[in-house]
């Protein structure tokens, strides 16, 4: 679970500062996908960077699984990022020389001890993940041998390699056609449910929003509206995306635009 509590982020802009994120509060629960939408330049990527603990906000708190990340030292913050947060950036950042499987294996080498048995375990885990994103037979291919949609699947599988509780995805469909894009959104919805990730998914493609559990619209860094999405409504008749003891799916994202 991830909570952003009254987060504000500014950047220097000449003699003044530009407010990229303006008093945003939101909570996303395990097994749900919260869509974040809004015009270009409205602060969506900045919001994800704060959620990912890559940027410390000017004020406000980011709480991940009960840990207030804004109070952590550099070492603890990077451990939390490695263990609890999966990130899929807007631009594909796969390494050109590595195969799909190696892109995932690299995640296991970061900052962790790698014994031979751990390596074998990681290879199995990588293969399982590649299978779950539909790339079981592509694992030996390098990025240039894969389509845009397949590269995005590798990105998503890689983000899940350390079994994060929070998944942050920025505009995953921007380089894809409508059909490929819809498949990627479906994949993220399915994986979030299967792996119980609290997922924030930035997209400006409105067509995908009815599939989400909640939708937050950001304008000029502020929450303009926050609504339960189609998936939350649908889940009252189908299997609930959250556990029985968890909060109701309709509250997948609770927001209070805070202007106090």
Distance CA 194, CA 120 (A): 23
Shortest distance in whole angstroms from residue 18 CB to ligand ADP: 5
| Residues of span 7-36 touching ligand ADP by CB under 6 A | 11, 18, 20
User: Judged by CB, which is closer to ligand ADP: 43, or 143?
Assistant: 43
Is residue 258 near Mg ion by the rule CB under 5 A?
no
Q: Which is nearer to Mg ion, 21 or 126 (CB)?
A: 21
Alpha carbons 29 and 192: distance in angstroms, whole number: 10
Q: Are 193 and 31 in contact (CB under 8 A)?
A: yes
Beta pairing, strands 214-219 & 32-37: parallel
Q: How far is the CB of 239 from Mg ion (least distance, A)?
A: 32
Nearer to ligand ADP, 90 or 165 (CB): 90
Between 10 and 45, CB nearer to Mg ion: 45
Selected from 6, 10, 18, 45, the binder of Mg ion by CB under 5 A is 45
Interaction of residue 149 with ligand ADP, rule CB under 6 A: no
Contacting range for Mg ion; rule: CB under 5 A; set: 24-32, 36-44, 95-103, 183-191: 36-44
Closest contact distance (angstroms) between CB of 55 and ligand ADP is 8
Residues making up the chain, counted from first to last: 260
| CB of 125 vs Mg ion, minimal distance in Å | 30
3-state helix, strand, coil in the chain (%, to 5): 40, 25, 35
41 binds, among ligand ADP, Mg ion, none (CB under 5 to 8 A by kind): ligand ADP
* Cα–Cα dist 97/99, whole Å: 7
Q: Say whether residue 46 binds ligand ADP (CB under 6 A).
A: yes
Identify the burial level of 234 via C-beta atoms within 10 angstroms of its C-beta, where 0-12 means exposed, 13-18 middle and 19 or more buried.
middle
How far apart, in whole angstroms, are the C-alpha atoms of residue 9 and residue 199? 21
How many chain residues interact with Mg ion (CB under 5 A)? 2
**Which of 2, 5, 37, 44 forms a contact with ligand ADP (CB under 6 A)?**
44
Q: Which is nearer to Mg ion, 216 or 231 (CB)?
A: 216
Told to check if 41 binds ligand ADP by CB under 6 A, we report yes
Q: Is 40 in the site for ligand ADP (CB under 6 A)?
A: yes
- Whether the CB-CB separation of 45 and 244 falls below 8 Å is answered with no
C-beta of residue 35 within 8 angstroms of C-beta of residue 214 = yes
Strand order in the sheet with 198-202: 85-88, 166-170, 198-202, 32-37, 214-219, 222-228
Query: In the complex, which residues of this chain contact ligand ADP (CB under 6 A)?
Result: 11, 18, 20, 38, 40-46
């Amino acid at each position: 679970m991830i909570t952003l509590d009254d987060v504000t982020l500014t950047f220097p802009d000449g003699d003044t500062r530009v407010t990229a994120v303006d008093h945003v509060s939101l909570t996303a629960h395990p097994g749900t996908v919260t869509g974040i939408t809004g015009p270009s330049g409205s602060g969506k990527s900045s919001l994800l960077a704060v959620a990912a603990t890559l940027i410390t906000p000017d004020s406000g708190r980011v709480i991940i699984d009960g840990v207030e990340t804004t109070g952590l030292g550099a070492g603890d913050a990077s451990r939390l990022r490695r263990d609890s947060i999966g990130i899929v950036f807007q631009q594909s950042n796969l390494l050109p020389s590595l195969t799909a499987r190696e892109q995932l294996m690299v995640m296991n080498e970061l900052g962790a001890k790698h014994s031979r048995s751990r390596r074998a375990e990681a290879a199995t885990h990588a293969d399982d993940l590649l299978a779950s994103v539909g790339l079981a037979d592509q694992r030996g291919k390098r990025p240039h041998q894969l389509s845009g949609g397949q590269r995005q699947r590798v990105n998503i599988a890689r983000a899940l390699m350390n079994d994060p509780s929070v998944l942050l995805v920025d505009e995953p469909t921007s380089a894809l056609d409508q059909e490929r894009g819809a498949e990627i959104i479906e994949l993220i919805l399915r994986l979030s449910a299967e792996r119980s990730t609290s997922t924030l998914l930035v997209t400006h493609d409105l067509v995908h929003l009815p599939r989400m559990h909640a939708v937050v619209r950001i304008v000029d860094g502020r929450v303009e509206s926050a609504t339960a999405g189609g998936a939350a409504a649908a889940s009252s008749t189908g299997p609930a995306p959250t556990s029985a003891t968890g909060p109701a799916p309709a509250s997948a994202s609770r927001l209070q635009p805070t202007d106090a």
